[in-house]
């Protein structure tokens, strides 16, 4: 549970640190997105290779190696002097995070052989993400109010020291008794699939159709096709892509992805809304979202009993509808969002995410033999991280583009400051602090209105995507059994 808590704390804390990072490092809108995206992007590209590698060399061993590297790079990230350096540090964290995550879920698959016990263990595992998300803003909020933004990265160090001290005694080693060979070509093809596709999506959302955007997506799709072809032809594939011919497996992976997509996309704008528009401190913002994160934990545990009596397809579909309602509440009040509205919307969305995540992860890991748990767990984790990437890349880029198109910078503002104010809401807030009262208020009013308009558009897209996902879950998971 310690690595699970760590990863969720890291993701949530970073969202709340964005305003300070914007003011301190002055990143462009694209750099700000990459600070968030590069970690889950690298993580997603390496999870399947690392899951397969963990089956080969030992899941506990890889867990400990990843812990050492993650702790060291966290210190480097904390003292990053520029936005570019922070992006590079986040990429390195993705490398070591890929060693940590597949091992956690695959170890559960091997320790808990009884289906009911395993489902409860996975519910607790999923609740660990929500618990970390709940703990992160509160502890991180305290740090952000008293120290500089880099302190949030240092949270990883004591957690991983504790892991390194306890894991050799409490975590059993396990591995595949007949592992396949390490396939460097397949690893390269995974990365060549993930990176261009996400780059293309980000470019499309920010700048519209262009040669770079379309070309990136095409390159990624071609690499993905080559990866699938290679896996089908190898006697010992790194990833058994035939698993995706099973409707329940594919549906569960898609649900996992879209649940995280909705959560991360929501947090991207709500963390800025409550701090930069409503004026809450990081600590107050973390406490304000705590009810939703607690509901996510309760929903993930409660659904264990529900799914014994109700088909997984119906449970997941209803859960995704709850996520759609959460976005609809924000869309209805876009531009006039109050703290109560945002907190209520997050509670409803979290209810859906918590239930859907537990069911989908259980369906994924229960569909393969225990000795292949690392690879299956990696698929689940990859869906999680791809959802995190796309949640920011798609919804975040649309929000950023909408803000940029609608904000009006008062005349007389220096060119560099005007560019910063037009890029992000954090940039506008910082620039306004340097202006006389009249122009400052005009800039803030325009920035808040532009941001609110973008939130409305983004939320409507979230509603549509979640309703479509609910329909897909009904179709693909109809044959799944609890």
Distances (CA, A) of 83 to 8, 90, 403: 22, 11, 21
Average pLDDT over residues 360-371: 72
CA separation for the pair 416, 380 (Å, rounded): 43
Q: Are 289 and 137 in contact (CB under 8 A)?
A: yes
Tell me the three-class secondary structure of 374-401, residue by residue.
HHHHHHHHHHHHHHHHHHHHHHHHHHHH
Structure tokens at 242: 């035939």
3-state secondary structure of 172: coil
pLDDT at 325 over 90: yes
CA-to-CA separations, 218 to 169, 175, 188, 200, in angstroms, rounded: 48, 37, 16, 9
- Please give the share of the chain, as a percent, with pLDDT higher than 70: 90
Q: What is the DSSP letter of 234?
A: -
pTM: 0.76
Least confident of 4-13, 45-54, 276-285: 4-13
Residue 387 has pLDDT above 80, yes or no: no
Residue 389 phi, psi (nearest 5)? -60, -50
- Tell me the pLDDT of the chain averaged across its residues: 81
Q: What does the pLDDT read at residue 229?
A: 92
Mean pLDDT along residues 421-425: 81
Res. 160: pLDDT tops 80: yes
Confidence of residue 202 (pLDDT cuts 50, 70, 90): low
For residue range 224-245, what is the model confidence (pLDDT) as tens digits?
999 999 988 888 777 778 878 7
Per-residue pLDDT of 101-128, as tens digits, reads 777 777 777 778 777 788 788 888 877 7
Average pLDDT of span 467-481? 82
Q: What long-range pairs does 462-465 form, CB within 8 A, spacing at least 24?
A: 462/262, 462/265, 462/266, 462/323, 462/324, 462/327, 462/331, 462/395, 463/324, 463/327, 463/328, 463/331, 465/258, 465/261, 465/262
pLDDT digits (tens, 9 = 90+) for 250-271: 888 888 888 888 887 888 788 7
> pLDDT tens digits, residue range 31-75?
777 887 788 778 767 877 787 777 777 788 888 898 899 989 999
Residue 11: per-residue pLDDT: 63
pLDDT score of 480: 63
What residue ranges define each of the domains in the chain, with the CATH number in brackets?
Answer: 1-181 (1.20.1250.20), 184-233 (no CATH), 243-481 (1.20.1250.20)
Work out the percent of the chain whose per-residue pLDDT is above 90.
7
Neighbours of 461 (CB within 10 A): 17
């Amino acid at each position: 549970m310690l690595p699970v808590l760590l990863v969720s704390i890291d993701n949530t804390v970073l969202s709340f640190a964005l305003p300070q990072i914007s003011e301190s490092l002055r990143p462009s809108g694209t750099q700000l997105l990459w600070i968030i995206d590069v970690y889950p992007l690298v993580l997603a590209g390496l999870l399947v290779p690392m899951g397969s590698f963990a089956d080969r060399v030992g899941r506990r061993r890889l867990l400990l190696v990843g812990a050492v590297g993650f702790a060291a790079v966290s210190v480097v990230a904390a003292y990053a002097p520029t936005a570019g350096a922070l992006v590079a540090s986040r990429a390195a964290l993705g490398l070591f995070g890929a060693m940590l995550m597949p091992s956690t879920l695959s170890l559960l698959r091997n320790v808990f052989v009884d289906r009911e016990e395993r489902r409860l263990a996975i519910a607790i595992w999923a609740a660990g993400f929500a618990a970390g998300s709940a703990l992160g803003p509160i502890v991180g909020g305290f740090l952000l109010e008293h120290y500089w933004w880099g302190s949030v990265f240092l949270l990883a160090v004591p957690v991983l020291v504790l892991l390194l001290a306890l894991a050799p005694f409490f975590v059993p080693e396990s591995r595949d008794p007949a592992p396949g060979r390490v396939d460097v070509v397949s690893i390269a093809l995974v990365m060549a699939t993930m990176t261009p596709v996400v780059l293309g999506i980000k470019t499309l959302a920010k700048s519209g159709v262009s040669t770079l955007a379309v070309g990136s997506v095409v390159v990624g799709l071609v690499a993905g096709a080559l990866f699938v072809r290679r896996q089908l032809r190898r006697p010992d594939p790194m990833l058994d892509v035939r698993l995706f011919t099973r409707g329940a497996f594919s549906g569960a992976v898609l649900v996992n992805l879209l649940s995280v997509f909705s959560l991360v996309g929501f947090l991207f704008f709500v963390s800025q809304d409550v701090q930069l528009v409503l004026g809450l401190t990081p600590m107050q913002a973390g406490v304000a979202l705590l009810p939703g994160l607690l509901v996510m934990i309760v929903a993930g545990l409660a659904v264990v009993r529900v799914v014994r009596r109700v088909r997984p397809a119906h449970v997941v579909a209803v859960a995704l509808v709850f996520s759609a309602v959460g976005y609809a509440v924000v869309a209805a009040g876009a531009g006039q969002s109050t703290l109560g509205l945002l907190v209520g919307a997050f509670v409803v969305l979290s209810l859906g995410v918590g239930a859907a995540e537990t069911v989908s992860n259980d369906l994924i890991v229960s569909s393969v033999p225990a000795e292949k748990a690392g690879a299956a767990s990696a698929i689940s984790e990859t869906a999680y991280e791809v959802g995190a990437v796309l949640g920011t890349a798609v919804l975040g880029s649309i929000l950023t583009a909408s803000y940029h198109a609608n904000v009006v910078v008062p005349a007389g503002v220096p060119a560099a400051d005007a560019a910063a104010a037009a890029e992000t809401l954090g940039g506008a807030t910082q620039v306004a602090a340097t202006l006389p009262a009249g122009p400052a208020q005009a800039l803030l009013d325009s920035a808040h209105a532009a941001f609110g308009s973008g939130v409305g558009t983004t939320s409507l897209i979230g509603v549509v995507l979640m309703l479509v996902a609910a329909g897909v879950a009904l179709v693909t998971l109809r044959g799944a059994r609890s």
